[in-house]
Amino acid sequence: MGKVVIDEEFCKGCTLCINACPQHLLRTAKRVSKTSYHPAELVDPEGKCTGCGLCALVCPDAAIQVYREKKAGVKEK
């Protein structure tokens, strides 16, 4: 289980993350952000995001924070 948080101060709506997401969970938001872009947004009602981070890899603006479920008892890597 995972999720991503897209920081709208940095996202320029370039859609590269949307193109990279293997689960197709990202889409361009209808609304316009403070920085006058249509930012990407995560739409994951069924919780399919695995926190794989491919979206963050291709993001030109380091706008995406990736989260993964903390495995109980696993040592900090």
Partner 1 sequence: MEMEMVSGRPKTLLPVPTHYCPGCGHGVIHRLVAEVIDGLGIREKTVVVAPVGCAVLLYNYFDVDAYEAAHGRAPAIATGCKRVNPELVVFTYQGDGDFAAIGTAEAVHVAARGEKITTIFVNNAVYGMTGGQMAPTTLLGQKTTTTTSGRASETAGFPIRMSEMIATLPGAAYVARVSVSSPKNVAQAKMAVRKAFETQIKGLGYSLVEFLSQCPTNWHMTPVESVRWVEEQMVPYYPLGELKVPKEEY
Binding residues for partner 1, per CB under 8 A?
1-3, 9-10, 12-16, 19-20, 35, 37, 51, 53-54, 56-62, 64-70
Residue number with CB closer to partner 1 (2 or 27) = 2
CB-CB contact of 40 with 18 (8 Å): yes
Shortest CB 16 distance to partner 1, Å: 5
Closest C-alpha among 17, 20, 26 to residue 61 = 17
Return d(Cα 41, Cα 8) in angstroms, integer.
9
Shortest CB 46 distance to partner 1, Å: 16
